[in-house]
Structure 1
Amino acid sequence: MKLINWSYAKRYNIKATFDEFPHVVVLFRQIGGYYFIYSMKGLTPEHVPGRREYVQMEYLLNKELGQLDAYLRRKSR
């Protein structure tokens, strides 16, 4: 999976798109120094990401934004 595009959105959110789900806009929010998936727009019943894809998306965005250390040290890990 690759991060295609990301941009800042309203209220401290980040919008991102990924190559495996190009029709889905993923919204991220920051907590504890890293970004996590807050919501998704454009999902179809045939293409719903699983937990593995969620983790990959969070990893790629945090790596891109320089927050990978905080993401890897999160409590839920």
Structure 2
Amino acid sequence: MNVISYAYRKKGSMEFKYDKFAYSKVILYPIKNYYFIKFIKWNASDPYVTTKDLEEMEILANEEMGTLEFYLQRKGRTLAK
């Protein structure tokens, strides 16, 4: 999965679009020093979103915003590639 685009929204939130879910908008909010998915404006043209997809979206968004280190500290683990 890759980030297609992202945009800033009100109150520090972000709107991301991913290639796997090209028609859906993922809304992330800042929590302390990282971003967390608040909700998804899901489109029926996209596949169902799984828990694994949600975690991958959060990792990609935090990587893009430069906050991945804080996100991983919250999760208490390192990124295995």
TM-score using structure 1 length: 0.89
- Give the Cα–Cα distance (whole angstroms) in 2 for the partners of residues 62 and 8 of structure 1: 14
Contact 2:2/2:18 (8 A) holds in 1 = yes
Unpaired runs of 5+ in structure 1?
none
Identical aligned residues as a percent: 32
Question: Structure 1 residues 46, 69: CA separation in 2 closer, same or farther (over 3 Å shift)?
Answer: closer
Question: Structure 1 residues 56, 75: CA separation in 2 closer, same or farther (over 3 Å shift)?
Answer: closer
Unpaired runs of 5+ in structure 2?
none
Residue identity in the other structure for 1:57:
M
Instruction: Provide Cα deviations, 1:10-43, integer angstroms capped at 9, x if missing partner.
Output: 2211000000000000000010210010011133
Runs of 4+ in 1 over 6 A off after TM superposition: none
CA RMSD, 1 decimal: 1.8
- Give the Cα–Cα distance (whole angstroms) in 2 for the partners of residues 51 and 24 of structure 1: 16
- Give the Cα–Cα distance (whole angstroms) in 2 for the partners of residues 50 and 64 of structure 1: 21
SS of equivalent to 2:26: strand
- Tell me whether 66-75 or 13-22 shows the greater mean CA deviation: 66-75
Question: Aligned runs of 1:43-54 on 2, under 5 Å?
Answer: 43-44=43-44, 47-54=47-54
TM-score using structure 2 length: 0.85
Residue 65 of structure 2 corresponds to which residue in structure 1?
Answer: 65
